[in-house]
Structure 1
Amino acid sequence: MDVAWNAWWGLAVGVVAAIVAAFVVVAIARQIARAAGRRKEWPGILVRRARWPFRLLLVVVGVWIAIVVTMPATPMRGSIEHVFLIATIAIGSWFACELVLFAMDLSTSRYRIDVADNRVARRIRTQIAILRRLVVVITVIVATGGILLSFPEVRVVGASVLASAGLVSVVAGLAAQSTLANLFAGIQLAFSEAIRVDDVVVVEGEWGRIGEITLSYVVVNLWDERTLVLPCTYFTTKPFQNWTRQGSALMGAVEMDLDWRIAPQRMREHLADVLARTDLWDKRASVLQVTDAIGGYVRVRILVTAVDAPTLFDLRCQVREEMVDWIREQTPSAIPHQRVRVEGVDERDPEAPVRVAPQRRSASVFEQFPVRQEPATVTGEQARLFSGSPEAEERASLFTSAMPVVDQAKLEESEAARDGRAASD
């Protein structure tokens, strides 16, 4: 009896000694971290993230060793050791996961996204965000598998399951087809750079920024403070617009349908004055052109540039408002009109109602409403988008450099030969 009591007292002393030793190691590690934290920031981050799993792991491992060394042989010793094995696997996985996440946080802190040129930083942060989730998922799976395999019964079942692994994998793949598709689509988005966190995109007719990319879905923060959640497979199977993949600068259009009496050159002068008075324009391009003249109206298109999408939206609205005010005050005759022709009363039937028909556009119309002549001098930079300046020529080359050059002499010879054959026939 005395021997048994001595054995149990030895177990208690061993457990207490293990706990004290664990706290001593924790205190030493804390002092080392504080000393290192005076010169650098990362030791403090490591302590905050891995403090609790490190302490629990030391206590559990120390108590487990004390039990193995001092506990007398009893029927429940095996069960107790199994419990400590499970706890060690779980806490060790937690500690390892925190260490990996700390390393990723340290890498992320080097790439800031609150600066002007942050394309590389956004790409790195997106990839690290996906890797963080993968690390957590893989760690949980490995820890769960290790805990299950610690049971002898599960190992026996596992051997029989491995024998039919082919059938099980096919069934599991069919059952989780959409889930696996989203998983691989999320990984593809992270490393293909199709989208990144903080990218400006247009999806489903909505404009917003990429707020979060996970392994299964993408969160888009829309301009009106709504949130659009889409599966990752959407961005790998459907077209969408990414306005910031290569840069944030954009070009936008303002279109207006006006009367034929509008003076484009005066509009260009006013446009230059409007852009000179605003800090929204980035001074890359400003073009005013008449792009259409059908249906009784002329269509004037104004192209302006800005550093990013929100600035461009505000700039387009300002240009549109300024032009509307200028047309109404300076050239009211250019406001769109609907002209009609009133036909006379039929002398044979004075009671017949007067007919009102749309007036056809003809020379007489312009004789009735004379147009004020404007100077014909137009500068190339102001008037043309694809010619007249080095920037416009370079812009045009993007669309024409791959087009074949036609030999005009050969073209005229072929047309003459075709006309001769037609005449002979």
Structure 2
Amino acid sequence: MKALLAVVAAIGLAILLVSVLHWLTKRLGRKSDLAADLARTAHKPFLATMVLFAIQQALRAVAGDFPGREGVLHALVICFIAAFAWLVAAFVLVLEDAALAHWRTDVENNLRRRRFKTQIVMIRRITVATIVVLTLGVVLMTFPGIRALGASVLASAGIVSVIAALAAQSTLGNVFAGLQLAFSDAVRVDDVVVVEGEWGRIEELTLTYVAVQIWDDRRLLLPTSYFTSKPFQNWTRSSSAVLGTAEVDVDWSTAIEPLREELRATCEGSQLWDGRVCVLQVTEAVGGMVRLRALVSANDAPSLWDLRCLVRERLVTFIWENQRTALPRYRADMANVTRPVAETLRPAPRGDSDDDARVFSGGADADERAVTFGGPEEPVPVPANR
């Protein structure tokens, strides 16, 4: 009875202490987001840790020998280790959430912020995995039989590690590729990429795979080793600002300057344009048409797409309303349409200028070329074998 009362008193004291600290943390959370997040996330693991610690100490101090004492204390130790690991993980997650909240990515020129977010996410996953592995190791070491086998396990660790590495070669390759991506800045969360012919955004980057959100809301899942072994386009590696083009084919009679003025007015009147590049150039003038290329810039890839569509729409509308003669035309010579087919296919009479159409006949130089490429007129005799 005395031991039971001691355990109940210890539990009550632990709950009271945790409640007071939780109340103080919530009060601080009114002014600090870190304290508020700590009060929400760490309350339950802290309560479990303190209650288990109080029960364990009460039994050790007050309770004497009773049936199953060692088993109960051993179970309490294992539960305390698990609760303490939960508490450590909660503290780490609170700190990482605070860092991510401070370095938000929903701002302009967020290159450094996206790099930091990618690294924090990777560190979070590694931290949680490390805490779980260490906790399992500490729990196993509480068993005397396993401690006795520790030397033999360490002796065979080399063979086991080699076998595990061969069995998990692909998985380990993806893990190391994920770490390389996180700290080499080759690709980051929210980067705009073109991969496997698809244009999208890096939505999630883990140790084993990368999730790419395609522009039409599909998801393309690729192993992290893909980005270290194959080429891909990263539109926002050095900056989120990008350039894009809108091309229009017009007739040779098109006046270019009015179209340049229309392009400038379209860019200056749109919030999509970042004020850097607004150029209209003639890039081709062959095949009966002139190709105009409008080069514009925007702060990010989605804005650039909408700006390109807007520029193309305004140029087409301006040409239709103001320069209809500038629409592409297909020209054909209709002068000989009424002539009979046989007459149009009749060969022209041969004149003195016919020699200009021949390469290997019809002149001294042409005959000489014919001899050179045709070989000797008489076959060369083959000498008899001696």
Q: Distance in 2 between matches of 1:28 and 1:265?
A: 75
Q: 1:80 aligns with which of 72, 87, 96?
A: 72
**Percent of aligned pairs sharing the same letter:** 46
By how many angstroms is 1:49 displaced? Answer: 0.8
Q: Distance in 2 between matches of 1:318 and 1:39?
A: 46
Q: Any residues of structure 2 matched to 1:4-403 within 5 Å, and which?
A: 9-74=1-66, 76-342=68-334, 343-344=336-337
The aligned amino acid for 1:292 is: E
Q: Which residue of 2 aligns with 1:416?
A: none
The aligned amino acid for 1:196 is: R
CA 1:21–1:251: 2 relative to 1, 3 Å: same
Asked if the contact 2:22–2:43 (Cα under 8 Å) also holds between the matched residues in 1, the reply is no
SS of the aligned residue for 1:313 comes to helix
> What TM-score, normalized by structure 1, do the two folds share?
0.74
Q: Distance in 2 between matches of 1:241 and 1:289?
A: 26
Q: Deviations over 1:276-309 (max 9, x none)?
A: 4433333322222222223333322221222222
Gaps of 5+ in 1: 1-8, 356-425
Asked if the contact 2:243–2:304 (Cα under 8 Å) also holds between the matched residues in 1, the reply is yes
Q: Which residue of 1 aligns with 2:348?
A: none
Asked if the contact 2:208–2:224 (Cα under 8 Å) also holds between the matched residues in 1, the reply is yes
Asked if the contact 2:111–2:240 (Cα under 8 Å) also holds between the matched residues in 1, the reply is no
Greater mean alpha carbon deviation, residues 176-185 or residues 90-99? 176-185
Q: Deviations over 1:155-182 (max 9, x none)?
A: 3444323222222111101111121122
The aligned amino acid for 1:297 is: M
SS of the aligned residue for 1:282 comes to strand
Q: Distance in 2 between matches of 1:280 and 1:33?
A: 45
By how many angstroms is 1:345 displaced? Answer: 5.9
Q: Deviations over 1:115-161 (max 9, x none)?
A: 22322222222211111111110000001111122223333444323
> What TM-score, normalized by structure 2, do the two folds share?
0.81
Q: Distance in 1 between matches of 2:179 and 2:140?
A: 28
Q: Distance in 2 between matches of 1:266 and 1:39?
A: 58
Q: Distance in 2 between matches of 1:335 and 1:272?
A: 21
How many residue pairs match? The answer is 344
Q: Distance in 2 between matches of 1:249 and 1:85?
A: 56
By how many angstroms is 1:214 displaced? Answer: 1.6
Q: Distance in 2 between matches of 1:348 and 1:103?
A: 88
Q: Distance in 2 between matches of 1:339 and 1:195?
A: 51
Q: Distance in 2 between matches of 1:252 and 1:317?
A: 10
CA 1:280–1:66: 2 relative to 1, 3 Å: closer
Q: Distance in 1 between matches of 2:30 and 2:103?
A: 23
The aligned amino acid for 1:224 is: D
SS of the aligned residue for 2:74 comes to helix
By how many angstroms is 1:89 displaced? Answer: 1.0
CA 1:311–1:30: 2 relative to 1, 3 Å: closer
CA 1:105–1:253: 2 relative to 1, 3 Å: same
Q: Distance in 2 between matches of 1:110 and 1:151?
A: 44
SS of the aligned residue for 1:115 comes to coil
